[in-house]
Amino acid sequence: MPLAYRRLVVKIGSNVLTQDNGLPDLARMEQLVAQVAGLKAQGMEVIMVSSGAVAAGRSLITLPAKTDAVRGRQLLAAVGQVKLLSTYAELFGRHGLLCAQVLVTKEDFRDRQHYLNMRNCFQELLQREVIPIVNENDVIAVTELMFTDNDELAGLIAAQLDADALVILTNVDGIFDGDPRLPTSQLLREIAPTATGFANFVTAQRSQFGRGGMLTKCHMAHKVAKLGISVHIANGKTADILPAVLAETAAHTWFRPSKTASGKKKWLANSQDSAKAAVRVNAGAVAALTAAGKASSLLPVGVLAIEGAFRKGDIIRLTDEKGHLLGLGIAEYGSDKALERLGQQHQRPLVHYDYLFLTPNLA
């Protein structure tokens, strides 16, 4: 039975859009644009997260061998982003479609109001039948402002826009239980939201032209699926891969979604860098919060220590007794009151369940 998605985020990796020589693969871009246009014709909203700016820049300018790596990447991205978007605009134009450029950095997702403003912009583009093409702003994104890779960015966009599904196109068929180059390795066709341990046998090797790898895809896909969004990892070099994934005829890996999370939880899931302080909880609180099928708030009786200061409405990290991250939440009151109520029973929750996101356990 074909998958009935209304809003889809499609992430296209560097290794899909780049030839072996590091230059853009224009024929594949043309094929993927045609597939997206076909989905649009069926009434689907599509947001693209596309790599390829650096490769496009490489097709236009040659840098000296001794060029600083960071500055070289910035230069190639600055030149290449124009080329990449002009190519997409021309290709979509053949199908009577408009596309728009959206360049972002990690900082754009940290402030709640800024986050909502950006979401409103996306909503307006989609309402006007314009296809947003999102990429990291590599010209200014360095060190702490950088996403792990465009997989992380795609997950953020999918959560922000309440997408039904995220399709990650890479250069292999999906997640394997070993090295995908070995004939003994088997494709994992479906991964449940409660699954653990599968990341142990996924190679940590990074892609040839991008910053990411299959391990980061696993972690990101699992987290996004926990928010109630289907994630499909498939081979972008396979003919007509997008309609085949949606028709469930393509060999690929599907991360099955949990129950859909609220908009606040989707924001919280990606807000670790915005946390003002940490709250260390005892084993009893950990057990209560992580109990299957039960929604629990964090009560002061389960709090061991407050590390740092925070006010009502701030994002705080929740950690276990050993300091391992348990989740993120929005404080119902400030750290001063939390310290007064530390370990006490019959007190208001410090973090209500509706404003609590527990991080997936991939061990």
Q: What is the pLDDT of residue 141?
A: 59
Per-residue pLDDT tens digits of the chain, which is 363 residues long: 467 899 999 999 888 998 888 788 999 999 999 999 999 999 999 999 998 888 888 888 888 888 887 788 888 888 989 999 999 999 999 999 999 999 888 877 777 778 888 999 999 999 999 999 998 876 665 555 566 678 889 998 998 999 999 999 999 999 888 777 888 888 989 988 777 665 566 654 444 444 446 777 888 888 888 888 999 999 999 999 999 999 999 999 999 988 766 666 676 776 777 787 999 999 999 999 988 767 789 999 999 999 999 999 888 999 999 988 988 988 999 999 999 999 998 899 999 988 888 886 543
Task: State the DSSP code for 192.
Answer: -
Q: What is the pLDDT of residue 178?
A: 78
The amino acid occupying position 131 is I
Q: Which of 3.40.630.30, 3.40.1160.10, 3.40.190.10, 3.30.70.20 is the CATH number of 7-266?
A: 3.40.1160.10
Name the pairing type of β-strands 230-235 and 165-170.
parallel
Task: State the DSSP code for 200.
Answer: G
CATH code assigned to 275-358: 2.30.130.10
Residue ranges of the chain that CATH labels 2.30.130.10: 275-358
Q: Is 138 annotated as a binding residue?
A: yes
For 123, the token pair is: 């909503």
Residue ranges of the chain that CATH labels 3.40.1160.10: 7-266
3-state percent helix, strand, coil for the chain, nearest multiple of 5: 40, 20, 40
C-alpha to C-alpha distance for 157 and 151, rounded to whole angstroms:
10
Q: Is 59 annotated as a binding residue?
A: no
Q: What is the pLDDT of residue 72?
A: 83
Q: What is the pLDDT of residue 31?
A: 97
Q: What is the pLDDT of residue 115?
A: 82
Q: Is 150 annotated as a binding residue?
A: yes
- Where do the H-state alpha helices sit in 59-111? 69-93
C-alpha to C-alpha distance for 353 and 326, rounded to whole angstroms:
14
